Structure 1
Amino acid sequence: MRILSSILLLVVLSFEMKAQDISKFKDETFIYKGDTLPVRVLYPKNFDATKKYPLVLFLHGRGESGNNNKSQLIHGSKLFLEKQDEFPAIVVFPQCSKDSYWANVNIVTDKEKGKRHFNFQQGGKPTKAMSLLLAYLKELKKLAYLDEDRFYVGGLSMGGMGTYELLRRQPNTFAAAFAICGGDHVKNVRKYAHKVNLWIFHGAKDDVVIPEFSLLIHEELKRLGANPKYTVYPDANHNSWDPAFKEPELLPWLFSHKK
C-alpha cells in the first residue's frame, strides 16, 4: 500500500511540475479580422522592457493543433525552459486551429493504406493559420524590446513545413531557422536560400513525412550555393524532434546568428 501511495504521489508531483512549467509560458491571444490565434509566450527571467531580446517562433506539428492554448507546448517548450538562463529570449508558441494548416500544402490520404501524401504548393495564398501568424509577426516587429536582427523560427512536421513557408513569405525577417521533418516545394527554396541560415533535420525511417522532402531541399540549397546544416538520424522515424532537441549545438548555433 505504501508503495502504491508513493507511486501515486510521484504521478501527482509530475503533473504539478508540468503544470508549473507550462504556466511560465504566458497565456495570450492575438485577434485579427475576427480570427483568433492562441499563443504562449515565454519571457526572459527578470524581463526588462528597456532591453533588447531575440525572438524565437516555434511552430508545432499537426497533432498539437486546436484552440486550448496548451497542446502546442508538448514538444520543444522544455528545451527553451531549461536554457532560459543561457539564452534569454522571447519565445513564442502559436497554436494552429484544427481546421487550418501552417503550410500551403495539398494533403491526399490513401484510403487503402492510410498514408498521407503531401503535395507542396509553389506560391499561392497563405492559409488562415499562416495569415494570422503573418499578421501577428507584423505586430511583434513593433515591439521595442525585440531585436529585429535576432529573429528566429523553427518547427516540427507541419511546423517544419510552416517554417519553410514563413521563410519564403518573410525572407528578410529571420537570421536563422531550423526545420524538423518538414518539407516544401523545391521551387520555393530560391526565395530563402541566401537569406537565412538553416539547419534541417529528418529521420531516415520517417514513414509519415518522408525524408526525401528534406533531402530535396538540402540538395537545392547546395545547388544554389547556400551552405545549410543537414542532419539525418539513421534510426529515427517521424519523431526526429527528440534527437534534434538533444543536439547540444542547436541553440548555440541558432542564437549565434544575426541579420
Structure 2
Amino acid sequence: MRTLLNTLVILSILFSSCSSDDTPQENRSDLESLPKDSGGTHKALTIGESNKSNFGHYIYTPSGHDSNSHDFPLLVFLHGSGERGDSETNPDILKKVVVNGPPKLIEKNEWSPKYPMIVASPQLPSGNWNPDAIHNFITYLIENYNVNTKRIYLTGLSLGAFGCFNYVSKYGPDAYAAAIVPIAGGGNKNSGDKFTTIPVWAFHGDNDNVVSHIKSVDMVDAINKEKPNTPAKLTIYPNVGHNSWSRTYNASGMGDESNEYDAFDLNIYDWMFLFEK
C-alpha cells in the first residue's frame, strides 16, 4: 500500500511539472519593485532638440524615473501615415504624434498601465518606417533613459504596424523588442522564422478597406507555421474599418471581437508585461 501511495505521489509531481500551457512563466519582481507612477512628464522634442535620436518625438517618463534607482519598461509607439512630419522645419507638426495610441491616452490623462513605463513616440518625417532607424532610436533611448532592456515593447498602427513587423523581420532575435502589438498592418509573409522568440499579438478590423485584415491573418499564420516559443495571436473586430486601434489601445474593444480568432481578454499592456528578453 505504501509503495502504491509513493508511486502516485511521484506521478503527481511529474505531471504537475510537465505542463503544456503556452502561458509564459511570469517573473514580475522587477516590475513589482517599481515606484507607483503618480504622474510623469510628457515632453515633446523636435528633431533639433532630440540630439542623436534622428527623430522628433514625444517621450513620457514616469514620476520615479529621475531618481536613477530603477530601470523602467519601455514602450515604443509607431504612428500611421497621417502623422508624418518634419519637426525640424515645423515644430508644431510634432503635435500630430499625440492624436492616436498611447501618447493620446497620456495627453488625456487616461494612461494607467499596471506598472509604470517609459513611452517614446517618434515622428517619421517622410516615407516608411525603416528597421535600422527604429533600432537606432531604441539604442538612443537606452543610452539616455533608465530603460529595462529586458522589457522593451513595440506597437504601431497601420504604417506603424508594418514598421513593427518589418523591424522584427530584419533583426529577428537581435531585435530589442520583447513583444510587439501591430494594429491594422501587415508584413513579409516569408519572414515567419524571424519571430520564433518574439511574441506577437496583432489586431485588425475585418471591414478595413485601407489595409486588408488578410495581411494580419497571413503574417500570424506564417509565424505560427514556424512553431514560435509563444504562438502569435490575432484578434479581429467584425464590421470594423481601418481604425481598429482606438478600441485596442484603450481596451474598449474587449468583448466586441470575433470568436473565430483570439479573444481580447487582456489589455495589451498587461499582455506585454508577460514577456521579457
Same fold (TM over 0.5): yes
Q: 1:245 to 1:217 in 2, by over 3 A?
A: same
**Separation of aligned partners in 2, 1:85 and 1:184:** 28
Does residue 179 in structure 1 map to residue 206 in structure 2?
no
**Separation of aligned partners in 2, 1:228 and 1:36:** 31
**Could you tell me which amino acid in structure 2 is paired with residue 220 of structure 1?**
A
What is the root-mean-square deviation in Å for CA atoms of aligned residues? 2.1
Q: Is the Cα–Cα contact under 8 Å of residues 45 and 84 in structure 1 kept in the other structure?
A: no
Q: 1:147 to 1:36 in 2, by over 3 A?
A: closer
Partner of 2:218: 216
Q: Is the Cα–Cα contact under 8 Å of residues 171 and 194 in structure 2 kept in the other structure?
A: no
Partner of 2:44: 27
**Could you tell me which amino acid in structure 2 is paired with residue 229 of structure 1?**
K
Partner of 1:156: 157
Q: How far apart are residue 144 of structure 1 and its match?
A: 6.4
Q: Render the CA deviation track for 1:199-220: whole Å, top value 9, x for unaligned.
A: 0000000000011100101111
**Could you tell me which amino acid in structure 2 is paired with residue 65 of structure 1?**
R
**Could you tell me which amino acid in structure 1 is paired with residue 100 of structure 2?**
H
Does residue 74 in structure 1 map to residue 99 in structure 2?
yes
Q: Render the CA deviation track for 1:196-245: whole Å, top value 9, x for unaligned.
A: 11100000000000111001011111211131121000111000112212
Partner of 2:69: 50
**Could you tell me which amino acid in structure 1 is paired with residue 98 of structure 2?**
L
For normalisation by structure 2, the TM-score amounts to 0.69
Instruction: Count matched residues.
Output: 207
Identity %: 27
Secondary structure (helix, strand or coil) at the match of 2:234 reads strand
**Could you tell me which amino acid in structure 2 is paired with residue 61 of structure 1?**
G
Q: Is the Cα–Cα contact under 8 Å of residues 97 and 122 in structure 2 kept in the other structure?
A: yes
Q: 1:141 to 1:221 in 2, by over 3 A?
A: same
- Give the number of the structure whose alpha-carbon radius of gyration is greater: 2
Q: Render the CA deviation track for 1:59-99: whole Å, top value 9, x for unaligned.
A: 000011112221111101244552346321110000001x3
Does residue 167 in structure 1 map to residue 147 in structure 2?
no
Q: Is the Cα–Cα contact under 8 Å of residues 166 and 188 in structure 2 kept in the other structure?
A: no
Q: How far apart are residue 150 of structure 1 and its match?
A: 0.2
- Which moved further from structure 2: 209-218 or 70-79? 70-79
Alignment gaps of 5+ in structure 2: 1-39, 87-92, 252-265
**Separation of aligned partners in 1, 2:138 and 2:268:** 23
Query: Where does 1:128-143 land on structure 2 (aligned, <5 Å)?
Result: 130-143=131-144
**Separation of aligned partners in 1, 2:139 and 2:268:** 26
For normalisation by structure 1, the TM-score amounts to 0.73
Alignment gaps of 5+ in structure 1: 1-22, 103-125
- Structure with more of its chain in strand, by fraction: 1
**Could you tell me which amino acid in structure 2 is paired with residue 90 of structure 1?**
I
Does residue 197 in structure 1 map to residue 199 in structure 2?
yes
**Could you tell me which amino acid in structure 2 is paired with residue 252 of structure 1?**
D
Partner of 1:15: none
Partner of 1:38: 56
